[in-house]
């Protein structure tokens, strides 16, 4: 198949693209390269990979990249609470206008596989989040993702994932994701302060995130028109529990603080059984992810350029 991957030079895209190539697909990456394209450099010479430098909001660029595509994997977005708060206009136009542009330019026969976000659920303290619940996002990121998934489902021929917070190594690394940031600070500073430690978050390894897209491609008939939480019950943890799991493997000072707060107040426990019943399961757990980051992050010797926002 010929697959268009928007945002394919990003954190997830740089893991997804080689998986698609290994599966025998032809891949077209459409990316504005705001964060550069070095993450795709190892595969740049692959005969089945084409890279188009362009913005998902640009009708002409999208129309050209869509030509002869059998399916679309729409990753292009401003991702995460901090990045969306830093530039709300860019977040809204990329996440919403970019998605609308893709819908307008594609043929109805071209299926779209889209990663929305568990951020859509906001704060849910009295029940487990399932796909049937009405989302109540509390951040700009969650609002834009929820509206984009709604528009895609209304347009038809779409599969929507609501992925957990991603972690793990990628050629286009991100260190502003909670899991990655905790391990990075524990390694670099030997000190970690955790606010609101009882807030529950769900996690998924970046390779499992990418694997889910190939799974959806193979199960389109069953999955189209549906929303699926993407993660695993075993990867639901409080922030405090995650920090303590990291401390089992690293020597650092952990401080639980009640004097400050995380501006991202999401708090939820999530059910992932709908996707599990179809046969998808994650391969990388919390401890394996920590060990991978502990081995890989020392290779980063500069002061964190791998963030959607400035590191503080």
The predicted-structure confidence for 106-159, as pLDDT tens digits, reads as follows 999 999 999 999 989 988 878 899 999 998 998 999 999 999 999 999 999 999
Confidence of residue 302 (pLDDT cuts 50, 70, 90): low
Q: What is the pLDDT of residues 40-58, one digit of tens each?
A: 999 999 999 999 999 999 9
Q: What does the alpha-carbon distance between residue 223 and residue 212 come to, in Å, rounded to a whole number?
A: 12
Q: What is the pLDDT of residues 203-261, one digit of tens each?
A: 999 999 999 999 999 999 999 999 999 999 999 999 999 999 999 999 999 998 877 66
- Asked if 162 contacts 231 with a C-beta cutoff of 8 angstroms, the reply is no
User: Please, which residues have CB within 8 angstroms of residue 126's CB and are 6 or more apart in sequence?
Assistant: none
Range of weakest confidence among 7-11, 94-98, 139-143 = 139-143
Over residues 184-196, the pLDDT tens digits come to 999 999 999 998 8
Q: What is the pLDDT of residue 55?
A: 97
Percent of the chain with pLDDT over 70: 94
Residue 261 pLDDT: 66
**Tokens 């991702």 sit at which residue?**
79
Give the chain's count of helices (H) and strands (E).
12, 14
Q: Which domains does the chain have, with CATH numbers?
A: 2-165+203-230 (3.40.50.720), 167-202+233-268+283-299 (3.90.25.10)
Closest to 244 in 3D by CA, of 287, 282, 302, 207? 287
Express as a percent the part of the chain with pLDDT over 90. 83
Tokens 């994701």 identify what position? Answer: 177
pLDDT score, position 311:
41
Residue 73 pLDDT > 90, yes or no? yes
């Amino acid at each position: 198949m010929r697959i268009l991957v928007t945002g394919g030079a990003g954190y997830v895209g740089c893991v997804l693209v080689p998986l698609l190539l290994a599966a025998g697909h032809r891949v077209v990456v459409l990316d504005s390269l705001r964060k550069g394209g070095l993450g795709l450099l190892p595969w740049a010479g692959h005969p089945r990979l084409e890279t188009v430098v362009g913005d998902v909001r640009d009708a002409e660029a999208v129309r050209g990249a869509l030509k002869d595509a059998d399916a679309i994997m729409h990753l292009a977005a401003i991702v995460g609470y901090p990045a969306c708060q830093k530039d709300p206009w860019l977040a809204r136009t990329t996440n919403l206008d970019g998605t609308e542009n893709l819908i307008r330019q594609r043929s109805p026969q071209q299926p779209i596989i889209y990663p929305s976000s568990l951020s859509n659920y906001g704060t849910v303290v009295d029940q487990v989040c399932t796909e049937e619940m009405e989302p109540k996002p509390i951040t700009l990121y969650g609002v834009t993702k929820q509206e984009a998934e709604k528009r895609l489902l209304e347009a038809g021929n779409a599969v929507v994932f609501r992925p957990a917070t991603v972690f793990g190594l990628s050629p286009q690394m991100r260190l502003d994701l909670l899991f990655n940031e905790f391990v990075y600070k524990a390694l670099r500073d030997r000190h970690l302060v955790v606010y609101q430690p009882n807030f529950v978050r769900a996690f998924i390894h970046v390779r499992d995130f990418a694997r889910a897209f190939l799974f959806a491609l193979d199960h389109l008939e069953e999955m189209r028109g549906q929303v699926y939480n993407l993660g695993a019950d075993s990867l639901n943890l409080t922030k405090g529990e995650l920090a303590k799991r990291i401390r089992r493997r690293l020597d650092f000072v952990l401080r639980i603080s009640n004097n400050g707060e995380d501006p991202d107040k999401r708090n939820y426990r999530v059910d992932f059984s709908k996707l599990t019943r179809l046969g998808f399961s994650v391969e990388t757990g919390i401890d394996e992810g920590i060990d991978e980051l502990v081995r890989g992050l020392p290779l980063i010797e500069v002061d964190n350029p791998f963030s959607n926002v400035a590191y503080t």
